[in-house]
Structure 1
Amino acid sequence: MTSQRYFDAIDATWPAAETQEVGPFLVRDGRDATGATGGKRVSAASLRDTSFAPTDIEAVEAAQTDMGQAPLFMIRGGAEGTDAALDETLAARGYGLIDPVSLYAAPVAALTGETPPTVSTFCIWEPLAIQRDIWAAGGIGPARMAIMERATTPKTSLFGRMKDYPAGTGYVAVHNDIAMLHAMEVLPEQRRKGWGRYAMRRAALWAQEQGATEMTLLCVKDNTAANRLYSSLGMSVTENYHYRIFQGGK
């Protein structure tokens, strides 16, 4: 059964520009002020109930087309989860599966036993220019920066250094008792040096100060190195989702 609290945390900490209810679906508009989209997470429609009709899907497709977005749905829980019937229906309508994602979680207290070296990682809001440059180099541009800026929950950014050189950046925000890390980016020359572990522990320490009890993050399943890191920290996969994007047919 899908743990909706995690998906509520995604929406709160990485919010769409606008949302609208279309029948049993929540439709997200991910465009920033320039019309650029902030990615699938803020552009996908998701099912609010378990019941739907083909006409509901058609209404969502029309709404997304009006926004200038490709028809796109989030399927929570994977092929065997809450949205299994929707997943099967969309596949039959010509939607392809894309970007399977794991949601990792761990108690905040499990990640705060070790304090990162003082100069290795900092919590900063608003992000520095160098952080924006690191994100941009990793494909996280103005549209995704706009997502961070419009979040109204407690939030901060992470900035790190290793041996006096910039190492990486990230963004973390809290919804209720859940802290969620997004947009972790480590410079290529600083990878496999331990900064990712420092960043996770610094994020957990900050989350603890905000009253959060659970640390979470999202990771695409084919990112082997990142999945290995999060597992090594004792985090467990507690949810899964993927997207269905229209590729033709009905």
Structure 2
Amino acid sequence: MWKSMATIEADNANGSRRDGPRQETSPTSDLAIVRRLEAAGFRAWPAASIQYDGSWQVRLTAGHPSKRLNSVNPLDPSDRRDIAQRVERAAHRFESYDRPLVFRQSPLAPPELDAYLDEAGWDRFDETIVMMAPIAALDIDTGMDHLPVRDVGRYVDASIRVHGREPALKAGLTEVLSSIRPPTGLFVIEDPESGPVATALCIHDNDLAGLYELATRADRRRMGHGRDAVSAGLRWARHRGALHGWLQVESANEAAVQLYLGLGFREVYRYVYRRPPIGSEAA
């Protein structure tokens, strides 16, 4: 049965790594930390529609194509009942939004669901590393100070340009940013002659500082602008009382991974997206 819920609460269950290629937390990682970061991530990047099928959070957003905003997110490793029927229900829901069916598999996903998707031939793509560190231990006190911009429209225009996105996404991105409830710092690193060269979004959520939308313009990479944006966001959050910084980065983005490792971030867990094979009924 579908039901709406407003929040996700962490508990104290522990988890371990599964064998095989599935993305999992390390044996010493605590699923309570994973749950806390997952919940903070959902608050920081709010979907327009959120429904639950058991503990599977179904997130859909007509105005923006982001996978995090349009995916099924299983949130309890023990919730393994009626998998085939629930996948089918999710497929119908995504079809009604004209969105491709995508599952986001974190360490909170039940192993039986992964096995079911494996048997059905679902692809894995965009493996992502979640990293975290105490802000006091991070190397963020070098470089210029940058204050967050107050104009959401200015930030959105800069983000679209820096990411090389379609201008048609402006309305959807503006709606998402306007829906974020925790305090938000919008950072734009600009060149006086060529305009915005890097952007970052920092969300201050209790003692956490989450970094999102990190990007450097293609022609200005490897020049320190990305580091400046990250440092500016974390200094802003530290001033507001945040104690821990965290972020998500695709494992294939080796330059970004090395940047964050160099700053002092360390991996906490990974997640991966899954989609039906082309031509299947669920695709």
> In which range does the TM-score fall when normalised by the shorter chain?
0.7 to 0.9
1:117-132 equivalence runs, <5 A? 117-118=144-145, 121-127=146-152, 129=154, 132=157
Partner residue of 1:18 out of 49, 52, 60: 49
Q: Which residue of 1 aligns with 2:177?
A: 148
Task: Specify the code of the residue in structure 2 equivalent to 1:217.
Answer: L
Q: Which residue of 2 aligns with 1:228?
A: 258
Partner residue of 2:68 out of 19, 41, 49: 41
Q: Deviations over 1:120-143 (max 9, x none)?
A: x33112345376144245244322
- Length-normalised TM-score, structure 1: 0.87
Give the Å deviation of 1:114: 1.4
Identify which range, 189-198 or 2-11, moves more after superposition: 189-198
Q: Which residue of 2 aligns with 1:107?
A: 134
Indicate how the Cα distance of structure 1 residues 48 and 209 shifts in structure 2: closer, same or farther if over 3 A, else same.
Answer: same
1:95-244 equivalence runs, <5 A? 95-111=122-138, 114-118=141-145, 121-127=146-152, 129=154, 132-140=157-165, 141-142=169-170, 143-162=172-191, 165=194, 166-244=196-274
Structure 1 distance, partners of 2:96, 2:140, is 50
Q: Deviations over 1:135-184 (max 9, x none)?
A: 24524432234222211111011111357653211111122322111111
Q: Which residue of 1 aligns with 2:90?
A: 60
Aligned residue pair count: 241
Structure 2 distance, partners of 1:126, 1:112, is 28
Give the Å deviation of 1:207: 1.0
Task: Specify the code of the residue in structure 2 equivalent to 1:73.
Answer: F
Q: Deviations over 1:177-222 (max 9, x none)?
A: 2211111121223211112222121111111123221111111111
**Residue pair 1:158, 1:203 contacting (<8 A) in 2 also:** yes
Indicate how the Cα distance of structure 1 residues 188 and 113 shifts in structure 2: closer, same or farther if over 3 A, else same.
Answer: closer
Question: Residue 42 of structure 1: SS of its match in structure 2?
Answer: coil
**Residue pair 1:97, 1:242 contacting (<8 A) in 2 also:** yes
Question: Residue 242 of structure 1: SS of its match in structure 2?
Answer: strand
Task: Specify the code of the residue in structure 1 equivalent to 2:151.
Answer: E
Q: Percent identical across equivalent pairs?
A: 23
Structure 2 distance, partners of 1:72, 1:152, is 26
Structure 2 distance, partners of 1:219, 1:234, is 14
* Larger fraction in strand: 1
Structure 2 distance, partners of 1:15, 1:197, is 26
Structure 1 distance, partners of 2:39, 2:152, is 25
- Length-normalised TM-score, structure 2: 0.77
Structure 1: give runs of 5+ residues left out of the alignment: none
**Residue pair 1:25, 1:46 contacting (<8 A) in 2 also:** yes
